[in-house]
Amino acid sequence: MDEGATRRDRQRAATLADIKAVARRLLVSGGVGAVGLRAVARELGLTPPALYRYFPSHEALVTALIADLYDELTGALMELQAADTDADLGARLFLLTNGLRDWALAHPSEFALLFGTAIPNPEAEDHADTPGHQAAMRFGAVFKDLVAQIWHWKPFPYPADEDLGPVLLAQLQQETEEFQGMPAGAIYLALSYWVRLYGLICMEVFGQLHWVLPDAGAYFEAQLREIGEELGLDCPLPE
């Protein structure tokens, strides 16, 4: 087993996994601020400079952690929708959105790292092919694919091109390929639903909602039902 990999390669991979595991544990227990080179090294019984054989900087470690977390989240969602096969697409939408919320609530620190404050630097355009970005795209594709599947399965009513305005229309039409041929109005709706889900989950996880809604679960369910109705789905109530 592990042919082609020398002994040292294997131990290197193991140490690398250990580092990321410890970083993950620190993230969970103390937030992003707790993930430090020295802290990781301390728990591994290593000296801080040793970690520079695995990551060129502290930021690189965190970035790798982000990429891993994106993949973990994506994997959890794919596993979820693979679990109950032959579910109709409406049920699958509920499954995935609820799954995302559950993951976010169960892993607030990780969610914060992935979806929280990340001010973009104006120059940008350079980090388009970083592994973290690619992992984020893979995550986004899960929902993008689902909504496209729903669309091709049972097209839902959508605003006409004239109602969108020329500027918005042009931008949305540029995404029609990414959304497997959906018209601009349908993409507009999909985007608005995603924004609602994102805002909802963010506010709940970050505690900006529970001063008005102590338990946001019921509210989330109601919003999901509303979205399902607008999409013309059967709204299968779990519970």
Partner DNA sequence: TGTCTCAGTGAACAGCGTTAACTGTTAACG
Partner DNA sequence: CGTTAACAGTTAACGCTGTTCACTGAGACA
Please say which residue, 6 or 117, places its beta carbon nearer to a copy of itself. Answer: 117
Stretch that binds DNA, among 54-62, 83-91, 100-108, 230-238 (CB under 7 A): 54-62
1, 2, 3, 8: residue in contact with DNA (rule CB under 7 A): 8
Residue 183 as a binder of DNA (CB under 7 A): the answer is: no
Residue 212 as a binder of a copy of itself (CB under 8 A): the answer is: yes
Residue 153 as a binder of a copy of itself (CB under 8 A): the answer is: no
Stretch that binds DNA, among 52-60, 77-85, 197-205, 229-237 (CB under 7 A): 52-60
Determine the Cα–Cα distance for residues 232 and 87; give it in Å rounded to an integer: 16
Residue from 190, 193, 197 nearest 220 by CA = 197
Contact 25, 40 (CB under 8 A): no
Site pattern 45..84 for a copy of itself (x: CB under 8 A): ----------------------------------------
Residue 53 as a binder of DNA (CB under 7 A): the answer is: yes
Residue 108 as a binder of a copy of itself (CB under 8 A): the answer is: yes
95, 96, 205, 224: residue in contact with a copy of itself (rule CB under 8 A): 205
When CB distances are held under 5 to 8 angstroms depending on the partner's kind, the choice from DNA, a copy of itself, none that residue 156 binds is none
Range 96-125, binding DNA (CB under 7 A):
none
When CB distances are held under 5 to 8 angstroms depending on the partner's kind, the choice from a copy of itself, DNA, none that residue 180 binds is none
- Rg over alpha carbons for the chain, rounded to the nearest Å, is 21
Determine the Cα–Cα distance for residues 170 and 163; give it in Å rounded to an integer: 13
Q: Which parts of this chain interact with a copy of itself (CB under 8 A)?
A: 31, 108-109, 112, 115-120, 124, 164-165, 167-168, 171-172, 175, 178, 188, 191-192, 195-196, 198-200, 202-203, 205-208, 210, 212-215, 217-219, 221-223, 226
